[in-house]
Amino acid sequence: MDFHDRNVIVTGGSSGIGKATAKLLVRRGANVAIIARRQALLDAALTELEAERVNRAQLFQACAADLSDWEQAQSSVSTVTAGGRVPDVLINCAGMARPGYFEELSVEIFRQTMDVDFFGTLYPCKLVAPMMMERGSGHIVNFSSGAGFLGVFGYTAYSAAKFAIRGFSDVLRSELKPYGVGVSIVFPPDTDTPQLLEENKYKPLETERISGTIKPVQPEQVAKAVVRAIEKNKYLVIPNFELSLFYALTNGVQGFVRWYFDRVIASARKERG
Ligand SMILES: NC(=O)c1ccc[n+]([C@@H]2O[C@H](COP(=O)([O-])OP(=O)(O)OC[C@H]3O[C@@H](n4cnc5c(N)ncnc54)[C@H](OP(=O)(O)O)[C@@H]3O)[C@@H](O)[C@H]2O)c1
């Protein structure tokens, strides 16, 4: 995909990986809308995006909304798609992580993590995918985590939500493929962002020992991998070697399963007419 003059929505685009991805896409000529909750961060990010513009016609927008709330998700997506601006790319980067021992994490933390990470990804997909399907093109990127395919100590709440995103994205990919809409799932390793700083305040020692063996990557490295995956319509995005190795060892057969299911689905759709 050539990003010049394309319309991109980045949820969580006011910070960390989302902001790095939004900036990279601005440098490639895209029109970028970011959605997150805090207005001050959105305003600051918008100024940074404007500083990266490569042509005068590029449009930028920042919309404040809590994407774990269906009504706010609806109104923010309708704001950024107003005037028939159908998105070419939706990047669902908004998320949170709250590690801790299972017995110490409240039910509210489990619910909030599922609301923000899973429903905050589902809602924009639910709103944007039908527009892309009708047009017959587009690309959706969902953010899981290394903890979305490996059960990591201390992440009962986060892993549950990130595994849910993985299951959802696996199915979404195969259902949207016949409509010409691509889906990618990103499994970032620890990345040097405000989320990681916040998480580190709560990590049990056991979690630190596991994740401490891998040096955090920079958000720009993840952003580059995301943009490359959209360009190549690649489903699986794992931005560093160690995590790719873990994935190959634990889930290596998944590529074959996707290929096999796609063939069965294509033949069933032919049969249906
Ligand atoms: N950093 C890592 O080590 C790491 C590793 C694996 C996966 N990930 C995943 O990568 C994605 C990006 O993480 P990051 O590290 O870049 O985080 P970050 O710097 O904390 O940014 C998170 C973004 O999401 C927004 N957000 C959070 N809750 C929201 C809500 N309810 N509604 C709308 N926006 C919301 C935040 O803005 P507001 O707070 O103002 O809303 C912010 O813009 C997340 O899905 C995260 O789980 C991160």
- Per-residue pLDDT at 214 exceeds 90: no
Tell me, yes or no, if 179 is annotated catalytic.
no
CB count within 10 Å of CB 37 equals: 17
CB count within 10 Å of CB 28 equals: 18
Provide the strand spans (E) within the chain.
7-11, 31-36, 60-64, 89-92, 138-143, 181-186, 236-237
Strand partners, 97: none
- Higher-confidence residue of 62 and 210: namely 62
pLDDT of residue 244: 94
Q: Tens digit of pLDDT for each residue in 155-190?
A: 999 999 999 999 999 999 999 999 999 999 999 999
CA pair distance 226, 131, nearest whole angstrom = 22
Tell me, yes or no, if 144 is annotated catalytic.
yes
Count of residues making up the chain: 273
Mutate to test the pocket of ligand 1, among 23, 76, 96 (most ligand atoms within 8 A of CB): 96
Tokens 């093109």, residue? 137
Strand partners, 9: 33, 90
Q: Which residues line ligand 1 (CB under 6 A)?
A: 11-12, 14-18, 36-38, 41, 66-68, 93-97, 116, 120, 143, 145, 188, 190-191, 193-196
pLDDT of residue 40: 98
Q: Tens digit of pLDDT for each residue in 94-126?
A: 999 999 999 999 999 999 999 999 999 999 999
Tell me, yes or no, if 211 is annotated catalytic.
no
Of 144, 145, 159, 169, the active-site residue reads 144
Which domains are delineated in the chain? 7-268 (3.40.50.720)
Burial (0-12, 13-18, 19+ Cβ within 10 Å), 2: exposed
pLDDT of residue 194: 97
What are the structure tokens assigned to 106, written together?
A: 């409240």
Q: Are 37 and 60 in contact (CB under 8 A)?
A: no
What are the structure tokens assigned to 55, written together?
A: 């042509």
Q: Tens digit of pLDDT for each residue in 220-271?
A: 999 999 999 999 999 999 999 999 999 999 999 999 999 999 999 999 999 9
Q: Are 230 and 138 in contact (CB under 8 A)?
A: no
CA pair distance 37, 222, nearest whole angstrom = 22
* Nearest atom in ligand 1 to 17's CA: 16
User: Which residue's CA is the nearest one to ligand 1's atom 1?
Assistant: 191
Helix axes 156-176, 254-272, angle to 10 degrees: 40
**Of 96, 91, 93, residue with least CA distance to 113:** 96
| Region 85-97 average pLDDT | 97
pLDDT of residue 133: 98
Amino acid making up residue 235 = Y
Percent of the chain with pLDDT over 70: 100
Give distance in angstroms: CA of 76 to centre of ligand 1: 17
Give distance in angstroms: CA of 236 to centre of ligand 1: 20
Give distance in angstroms: CA of 224 to centre of ligand 1: 17
Give distance in angstroms: CA of 75 to centre of ligand 1: 20
Of 19, 162, 177, 203, the active-site residue reads 162
Provide the strand spans (E) within 1-105.
7-11, 31-36, 60-64, 89-92
- Per-residue pLDDT at 205 exceeds 90: yes
The answer for residues whose C-beta is within 8 angstroms of residue 245's C-beta and 6 or more apart is none
CA pair distance 71, 217, nearest whole angstrom = 35
| Region 85-95 average pLDDT | 97
- Per-residue pLDDT at 212 exceeds 90: no
- Per-residue pLDDT at 9 exceeds 80: yes
- Per-residue pLDDT at 15 exceeds 90: yes
Provide the strand spans (E) within 149-235.
181-186
Give distance in angstroms: CA of 266 to centre of ligand 1: 36
